């Protein structure tokens, strides 16, 4: 096991050497909350979806294999996902911890991640389950728009931009991701219920699961996530 990194004087020890995992169905707000947590604790926000889309855009061998799978709304196989995850957490910016968004998605991935964290000297992860009903999920996913420039996320129903089709921050064009289209949502939710929901039971058995009601506003969910994380840290 790798030695734990030294603690810089300006970082509280509680914020180091730990992974935070956000679980929940598509549209639960994992990406939004992951970015907020990453900024709050000055650690990287790791989205396997973003990493895979980057590979697809760059036309890498991994991206070529993943593209048709993602376009069908199916989960990318472990053999592809695990390679990018293992390589990503070895980078220096992950030395003090990180926030996962969209990983793990299966129990097998969770078991692999557990071993990977041990190998790199990390303690057991904090796991936060964002709970939300299916009707709200559909509204959130189909209304979601993303800024092409800065990646800021909006929702036409819950958090619309001030100017239609443009990001409030940088004026970048807003677009709908292919896998956010209504015809893709159903298979994505089916894939989640079949392969990802068992993670809730898995992490509950390990005593690592903390549930948060994600049907509230972004700000309310953020407050509850931070409160839950603070409580979990104090217990450990």
Q: Catalytic residue positions?
A: 30, 105, 144, 177, 188
Give the HSE-up count for residue 126: Cα atoms under 13 Å, Cβ half-sphere: 29
Place of tokens 């855009």: 57
* Burial of residue 164 (number of CB atoms within 10 Å: 0-12, 13-18, 19+): exposed
Q: What is the Cα–Cα distance from 42 to 39, expressed in whole angstroms?
A: 5
Phi and psi dihedrals of 214, rounded to 5? -100, 15
Q: Of all helices (H) and strands (E), which one includes residue 135?
A: helix 134-142
Between helix 78-88 and helix 107-119 the angle, nearest 10°, is: 20
């Amino acid at each position: 096991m790798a030695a734990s990194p030294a603690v810089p004087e300006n970082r509280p020890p509680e914020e180091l050497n730990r992974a935070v995992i956000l679980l929940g169905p598509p549209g639960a707000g994992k990406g939004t909350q992951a970015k907020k947590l990453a900024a709050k604790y000055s650690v990287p926000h790791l989205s396997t979806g973003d990493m895979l889309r980057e590979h697809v855009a760059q036309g890498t061998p991994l991206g070529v294999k993943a593209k048709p799978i993602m376009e069908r709304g199916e989960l990318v196989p472990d053999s592809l996902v695990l390679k990018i995850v293992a390589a990503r957490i070895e980078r220096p910016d992950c030395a003090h911890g990180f926030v996962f968004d969209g990983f793990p998605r299966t129990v097998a991935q969770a078991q692999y991640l557990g071993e990977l964290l041990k190998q790199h000297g990390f303690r057991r992860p904090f796991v936060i389950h964002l709970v939300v009903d299916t009707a709200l999920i559909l509204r959130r996913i189909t209304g979601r728009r993303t800024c092409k420039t800065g990646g800021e996320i909006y929702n036409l129903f819950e958090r619309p931009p001030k100017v239609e089709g443009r990001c409030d921050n940088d004026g970048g064009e807003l677009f709908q991701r292919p896998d956010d289209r209504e015809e893709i949502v159903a298979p994505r939710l089916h894939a989640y219920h079949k392969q990802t929901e068992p993670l809730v039971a898995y992490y509950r058995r390990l005593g690592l699961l903390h549930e948060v009601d994600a049907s509230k506003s972004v700000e309310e969910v953020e407050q509850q996530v931070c409160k839950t994380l603070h409580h979990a840290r104090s217990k450990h």
